[in-house]
Amino acid sequence: MMIRRLLILTVVSLVFIPAHSQVLISLLLGDNLNSGKVEFGLDGGLNLSNQGGLSQSKMLSSFNLGFYFDIKLKQSPWMIHTGVIVKSNVGAAGLPVYSLNDTDLDNAFVGGSIERKLSYFHVPALMKYNFTNHFFVEAGPQLGLLYKAYDEFTNTVQGDDLTYRNEIRDGFHRLDAGITTGIGYRLMGGNGMNLGVRYYYGLVDVVIDDSGASVANRSLYFTVGIPIGAGKAAEKAAGKEMK
């Protein structure tokens, strides 16, 4: 029953529901999804990303938000950490402008710059080890499904800020894959929020055009994990043990 609920929530989140609605559903179902063996919660924070293979680029900063499941493996310190990062931009900043095949636009953005933003649904599948001092480490594969991609041109002309968005999703593969590693700490004696840092190293060339250098996603995540309904789940588990 629990596995079926997890699968239904993940599929619904990925296919049918916008990001803000996904988080709302997660909050509403949090108490039901938590059990003595599975911890459910919300994950969010800041991520700094870039793309390996791009020259003249800078880090792109953005926020990420999603939900997670920590699946306990019997009485061992090992867990499986998974979930969905439903709102997350990766890409690069400070890219040089290129021609938009429009004379007026090209003239307007001479001397400007580009922020490349690729929005993915990211699904990690990490092995997580909990130490007795409440620190933890984790590592494993992570998959990504691209749903939006654009280059945002910016420039300042005679004191006015100009912005133009160029949709580029057709130039990128829909799927991404790589390796994620991380370290973190659990507050309140191991029963509170998770504070963590993760690094994603993409292994896939995400650009469809293979004529240039391989371009892969890289991202550093600073995350806060907030368990939803974990207290009630612990009370239920304790009640069962007493019976």
Instruction: In whole angstroms, give the CA distance from residue 83 to residue 126.
Output: 10
Instruction: In whole angstroms, give the CA distance from residue 218 to residue 129.
Output: 24
- 4-41 pLDDT per residue, tens: 444 444 444 444 444 444 444 444 454 556 667 888 89
Number of residues in the chain: 243
- 87-144 pLDDT per residue, tens: 888 999 999 999 999 999 999 999 999 999 999 999 999 999 999 999 999 999 999 9
- pLDDT at residue 3 greater than cutoff 70: no
Q: Phi-psi category of 56—alpha, beta or left, where left has phi over 0 and alpha has psi -120 to 50?
A: left
Residues 107-116, buried b or exposed e (16+ Cβ, 10 A)? Answer: ebbeebbbbb
Q: Phi-psi category of 74—alpha, beta or left, where left has phi over 0 and alpha has psi -120 to 50?
A: left
The predicted pLDDT at position 208 comes to: 93
The predicted pLDDT at position 211 comes to: 76
- pLDDT at residue 42 greater than cutoff 50: yes
- 196-238 pLDDT per residue, tens: 999 999 999 999 987 778 999 999 999 999 988 655 555 555 4
The predicted pLDDT at position 219 comes to: 97
* Mean pLDDT value across residues 143-163: 94
Tell me whether residue 51 is exposed, middle or buried, using C-beta atoms within 10 angstroms of its C-beta: 0 to 12, 13 to 18, 19 or more. Answer: buried
The predicted pLDDT at position 54 comes to: 85
The predicted pLDDT at position 53 comes to: 86
Q: Where are the beta strands (DSSP E) in the chain?
A: 38-52, 60-72, 78-87, 89-95, 113-130, 135-157, 160-167, 175-186, 194-202, 216-227
Q: Which amino acid is at 182?
A: G
Structure tokens at 134: 């409440």
CA triple 90-95-97, angle to 5 deg: 130
The predicted pLDDT at position 159 comes to: 85
Instruction: In whole angstroms, give the CA distance from residue 70 to residue 36.
Output: 11
CB-CB contact of 167 with 149 (8 Å): yes
